[in-house]
Structure 1
Amino acid sequence: MSASNAMGMSEGAPSVMEVYEKLEKVGEGSYGKVYRARDRRTGQIVALKKTRLRDDEEGVPPTALREISLLKMLSIDPHVVRLLDLKQGQNKEGKTVLYLVFEYMDTDLKKFIRSFRQAGEKMPAKTVKSLMFQLCKGVAFCHGHGVLHRDLKPHNLLMDKKSGLLKIADLGLSRAFTIPIKKYTHEILTLWYRAPEVLLGATHYSTPVDIWSVGCIFAELVTNQALFPGDSELQQLLHIFRLLGTPNEEVWPGVTALKNWHEFPQWKPKCLSTAVPDLDPAGLDLLWMMLQYEPSKRISAKKAMEHRYFDDLDKSNL
């Protein structure tokens, strides 16, 4: 059974516009446009993600289909955005276009954080804890199935405002569509959540890259500000080194052999509480474990869920 059949992309099926009515464009990601749409059959509101394939591809490449069936499998987890449907179509130039149909969520973590920042308020500690636990749970599920996200950031974490439910989006797309369609605004290709081993040019990296991103998001939930807001790869590294100290062979064996390693300015590590003053000691301990330089020393998502920071969280409704 081919991946396209497995995804329910049968020949002669109704076209995407026969099934879904576009309501409005809600965003533009690095892989294409996103619309809010209505399923004409059920009235359900969905998110329609339109992605164009590479110009040299005839039809849908098997790699994209593999990633997409993986996405469908992962979306059984309550903390991964559900992929509901997949439709293939043609654009005006006759190029193949894929429509990925996802459940619709009313906001994302980036907008949620911004709402607190604009109101001049801090996010309640209980809310931070609940969102963090859900994020660790979703990431643990993906990692447990051998899938890295590689681009976790507040914008990719969707939320239901009423229930406080958090779900991971844009999973696997970085591998399915290796070349972003065009480089959109600077914002889209943000480096703020990128792990130091990736910035330093490591070619082999694994699940700890996502844990680093989770740590950066954790700090941002508490302070309403990005922890390391660099605007270039070098600036990004310097932001990290200023807080955590310039790494060396002692704290991170092999670091000086990485491709982008230079003689960097030497900074001594600071206390994390200087950057995230409102976080309690248990939270600072968890954050510290997520921001270890040596990837193998970073806590796993599964272990993070067992950390004492979450001891007083009511997990029954998560």
Structure 2
Amino acid sequence: MEKYQKIEKIGEGSYGIVFKAQNRTTSEIVALKRIRLDNEDEGVPCTAIREISLLKELKHPNIIALNDVLHTEKKLTLVFEYMDSDLKKFMDICGGDLDTFTIKHLLYQLLCGVEYVHKNKILHRDLKPQNLLISKKGELKITDFGLARTSSVPVSSYSHEVVTLWYRAPDILMGSRKYSEDIDMWSVGCVFGEMVTARPMFPGTSVADELLRIFKVLGTPIDETILKSLDTKNPSNYESSLSPHLDIASVG
């Protein structure tokens, strides 16, 4: 860590702490994502391994750049290019008053980044304003690939515990474990709507509430669509998360 001088803490989460720092040699400003290695038996978290492996391969103007990885016995630090803010903070600062040009400019960059990710057969699985970083120049870059996975690797099913609730597609909310790039595109649509309306599109408080909010705006899916989406072999995967009082047929 002697290579970098910490300036200030800019974020903290279950993964660890993020610092703004400066390269002592080049004076370059970077972001240090320090990941806690509390459990000696488990070693490096799988989310960190996944993020490192993917970002070493992904090189695009709208994808955050991983510059270096520093590993000691007790700490793992990822060195990223520094970005001034994220879309959530940017929208809060603007008071939700984003002009049409800014919205189009940011959405275009988001779509370019997502297209590149999908062309490389990767699903991000956690697109939300907090994971979209913005520079003072108006550059947007996708970050946090801890939940991402390669879609080209054959698996019987994916986890449905992905994507922050407000940006989660209906089929995942209903227990589907078989999905593709469409789950990222749903999240993109939610982010776009939030930029336009200055509020989250579907701010649900639970899985059942999230579904109700979506159905009230978009209507209910037809029976055939529901059957294709549900994990019919393991209905317990989604039944337990739905309210016993949720009458889908009455919503619309």
TM (norm. structure 1) is 0.66
State the distance in 2 between where 1:260 and 1:30 align.
Answer: 26
1:174 aligned residue (147, 150, 156):
147
1:126 aligned residue (83, 101, 111):
101
The verdict on how the C-alpha distance between 1:250 and 1:84 changes in structure 2, with shifts beyond 3 A counting, is: same
Shift of residue 126, structure 1, vs aligned partner: 1.2
Structure 1: where are the runs of 5+ without partners?
Answer: 1-15, 91-95, 177-188, 269-318
1:82 aligned residue (45, 58, 65):
65
Report if aligned partners of 2:3, 2:23 keep a CA contact under 8 Å in 1: yes
Report if aligned partners of 1:107, 1:160 keep a CA contact under 8 Å in 2: yes
Instruction: Show the counterpart of 2:201.
Output: 227
2:134 aligned with 1:155: no
Which amino acid in 1 is paired with 2:16?
G
Report if aligned partners of 1:116, 1:224 keep a CA contact under 8 Å in 2: no
Structure 2: where are the runs of 5+ without partners?
Answer: 150-162
TM (norm. structure 2) is 0.82
Alignment of structure 1 residues 109-258 onto 2, 5 Å: 109-117=87-95, 122-161=97-136, 163-171=137-145, 173-174=146-147, 190-255=164-229, 257=232
Report if aligned partners of 1:21, 1:38 keep a CA contact under 8 Å in 2: yes
State the distance in 2 between where 1:199 and 1:56 align.
Answer: 34
1:41 aligned residue (20, 25, 41):
25
SS for the counterpart of 2:57 is helix
The verdict on how the C-alpha distance between 1:175 and 1:250 changes in structure 2, with shifts beyond 3 A counting, is: closer
The verdict on how the C-alpha distance between 1:235 and 1:66 changes in structure 2, with shifts beyond 3 A counting, is: closer
Which amino acid in 2 is paired with 1:82?
A
SS for the counterpart of 1:129 is helix
Q: Output one character per residue of 1:253-312: Cα deviation in whole Å (capped at 9) or x when no partner.
A: 5245464256425233xxxxxxxxxxxxxxxxxxxxxxxxxxxxxxxxxxxxxxxxxxxx
Alignment of structure 1 residues 263-282 onto 2, 5 Å: 263-268=247-252
- Which protein is bigger by CA-based radius of gyration? 1
Instruction: Show the counterpart of 1:276.
Output: none
Identity across aligned pairs (percent)? 48
SS for the counterpart of 1:122 is coil
SS for the counterpart of 1:73 is coil
Instruction: Show the counterpart of 1:19.
Output: 3
SS for the counterpart of 1:26 is strand
SS for the counterpart of 1:112 is helix
Instruction: Show the counterpart of 1:179.
Output: none
Which amino acid in 2 is paired with 1:113?
M
Root-mean-square deviation (CA), in Å?
2.3
The verdict on how the C-alpha distance between 1:66 and 1:247 changes in structure 2, with shifts beyond 3 A counting, is: closer
